[in-house]
Amino acid sequence: MGMYDTYEGVQLKAGPCSMNNYEMGDRVELHDGLYIGYEGVIVVGDGKLRGVYKTMTDKWGKKMNLYKVLNLSSPLVAVAEKIMKKYQKKKK
């Protein structure tokens, strides 16, 4: 589990987490950029929380699955998928 901060309902384990709750316009201890969590995407600009989005779309306008986006970034997920495919083939 561990500690996390909440940004308008989006939980993230980024930066120095201390179970804080941030609202739009609050100063945050994150670098400027986009941060993706399971509950949504936050935008940090000039050291402040600038935007919170509950969904993300791809370049064709289709809604993206945030769980898939986050899990694809882990190399362990790719290894686990390969192992599962081999196991399923042997089972058939």
pLDDT tens-digit map of 44-64: 999 999 999 999 998 999 998
CA atoms within 13 A on the CB side of 33: 7
Instruction: Give residue limits of the domains in the chain.
Output: 5-91
Token output for 47: 């050291």
- For 23, other C-beta atoms within 10 Å of its C-beta total 10
> Which residue has better confidence, 86 or 35?
35
pTM value is 0.72
